[in-house]
Amino acid sequence: MAAFFKAANAKIRSNPTLSYFCSTHFWGPASNFGIPVAAVMDARKSPELISGQMTFALCIYSATFMRYALAVTPANYLLFACHFINEGSQLSQGYRYLNWYYWGGKEKAGVQGAIEGAKAKAAEVSDKVKEVATK
């Protein structure tokens, strides 16, 4: 049985493409891509849900590992791409967080919500007036 695994490993390692797909150089970044995918998907959610501390931590984490991905030999460009996408996503989330809590985004959204509500109510009243006038 050990001979079988030894032969299979030798076969895998002799093919550069197969060797890459069976290495941590591929599976580490591939499994790590869940973080930037989640960050991109979260861009559609309300800024109230963003954690400023976690966003800051993920910015530092991604910047650190972008550097690490290029420092290892051979350079891991897939890991770099993963953290580059995550860095951009986290910076975007950080901007949304700062805008919401510190730069007046919450107040603007409240005013905008009130305006939309008033427009809807005015449209309702207008429809009722038209209905009564046609009778």
Look at residue 110 and tell me if it is in a domain.
Answer: no
**What value does the CA radius of gyration of the chain take, rounded to a whole number of Å?**
26
* Claim: this prediction has a pTM higher than 0.95: no
pLDDT digits (tens), the chain, 135 positions: 777 777 776 766 677 777 667 677 788 888 888 888 888 888 888 888 899 999 999 999 999 999 999 999 889 899 999 999 999 999 999 999 999 999 888 777 766 655 566 677 778 878 888 888 877
Look at residue 5 and tell me if it is in a domain.
Answer: no
Query: ∠ CA(37), CA(38), CA(43), 5° rounding?
Result: 100
What is the number of structural domains in the chain?
Answer: 1
Domain encompassing residue 60: 11-103
The phi-psi region of residue 104 (left if phi > 0; otherwise alpha if psi is between -120 and 50; otherwise beta) is left
Provide the sign of the torsion angle of the four alpha carbons 114, 120, 124, 126, taken in this order. Answer: positive
Tracing tokens 């049985």 back to the chain, one arrives at: 1
Look at residue 75 and tell me if it is in a domain.
Answer: yes
The predicted pLDDT at position 130 comes to: 82
C-alpha closest to that of 86 among 31, 39, 25, 27? 39
